[in-house]
Amino acid sequence: MWRFWQVLPPRGKIGVFFGSWYTDPLVRRAEGMMKRTAFERRLETIRHFERMLVAEGALVLKLWFHLSKSAQKKKLRELGEDPLTAWRVTPEEWKRHDRYERYVKVIAEALRETGTGEAPWQVIEGSDERYRALTAGRAVLDALTRRLDGPAPVISPSAPPPVPAIDGRDLLNSLDYSRRIPVKNYDRELERAQGRLNLLTRHKRMRERSLVLAFEGMDAAGKGSTIRRVTRALDARYYRVVPVGAPTDEERAQPYLWRFWRHMPADGKAVIFDRSWYGRVLVERVEGYCAEADWMRAYHEINEFEQELVAGGAIVAKFWLSVTLAEQLKRFRAREQTPYKQHKITAEDWRNREKWPAYEQAVCDMVERTSTSYAPWFLVPANDKRYARIAVLKHIADEIEKHIA
């Protein structure tokens, strides 16, 4: 879906897709290159994609222009006999015409399974050019008028997050924060872990894979220093670090996942996100930057997003670097007292600290809803930065090894 995300129109613009995300699965299924289960999964992915577009404010209008077999044959002959249009009729078009019944069966299933309340199909008879053009024009006009004059489509709400435990115990305060790596062992352990990761990322099978790393954590948890230890193990030609802050005006005009899709790496490459798409269910949730319905539906949208990445060959590793409230205070004060670190502590960091319980609950809900078999969360107790760095390096290497074995 990457190529379609790249050309989605921003708010206020219109995008016309001549052929779309339906073309590949329809052709592959009709030509026998895709099994039924894979075809059904692609249709499910498309439904979720279109539902998200509508929930983000897009008007999705889908037009299918239909021709009977006899009308298609007549049209192909007319085009082929005209010297100006003969180039449009290749042997491939005639082969598909011979498989007309097979294509119609697959198309009918796709239209039935993806014609939803949020994004319905409109089938238009395409043999008469004037009728086709007028009907399509009216469909576009009617859809725009209804959207401008009426309310936005209602998207069914997601299930609510789990209720906090009565005893106050959760994933974060259950971690073992006493884990340490002695200073005398650290350099040796670091060199061993980085060397292993370097060899694995250079493995020939990684040419057919991409690596997507997402780092999240409370302020002062050590994300930046951990990322630096990871990048030292990678070939500088094949990775990028993407620091994620507040969205730009360009990014706010698109669905929220757009700014992450645009950075997804090609096979053989890696991208490291210093904060990620999980901002939707963390800072945007806690700070009220989006409505509850928006961050509630984001859990499922993020799972679909990550499943598409994995299905496309990506290895996705997600890290939550966790520190205790006392350790964060210690690091904040150290930053204030160290001249070259003072730029890293702001009034906003102190303000966010006051919302610790809200962020902690948001993190627990996030892990509960988005730690999947294909993209699980790795929670790292990071009170000891040396331990956290080694743990992250080892986990990345383990994930790569598991996928290329």
Residue ranges of domains in the chain = 2-149, 183-404
How much is the pLDDT for 87? 95
- 96 Cβ neighbours under 8 A, 6+ residues apart: 30, 103
The whole-number pLDDT of residue 23 equals: 96
- Per DSSP bridges, beta strands 210-217 and 314-322 are parallel
The burial class, CB within 10 Å (0-12 / 13-18 / 19+), for 398 is middle
Could you tell me which CATH number the domain at 2-149 has?
3.40.50.300
Cβ atoms of 241 and 209 closer than 8 Å: no
Asked if residue 284 lies in contact with residue 260, where contact means CB atoms within 8 angstroms, the answer is: no
State the CATH architecture for 183-404.
3-Layer(aba) Sandwich (3.40)
Instruction: Quote the pTM value.
Output: 0.92
CA-to-CA dists, residue 130 to 19, 138, 255, 308, angstroms: 21, 12, 36, 40
Which H or E element spans position 183?
A: helix 183-201
Residue ranges of the chain whose pLDDT lies below 70: 162, 165-168
Amino acid at 186: Y
First-to-final CA distance of the chain: 27
Query: According to the model, what pLDDT value does residue 171 have?
Result: 87
- Whether residue 105 contacts residue 26, with contact meaning beta carbons closer than 8 Å, is answered with no
The two domains 2-149 and 183-404 share their CATH topology (first three levels equal): yes
- What's the CA gap between 368 and 376, in Å, rounded? 10
Tell me, what's the pLDDT at 166? 67
pLDDT at 155: 79
pLDDT at 146: 93
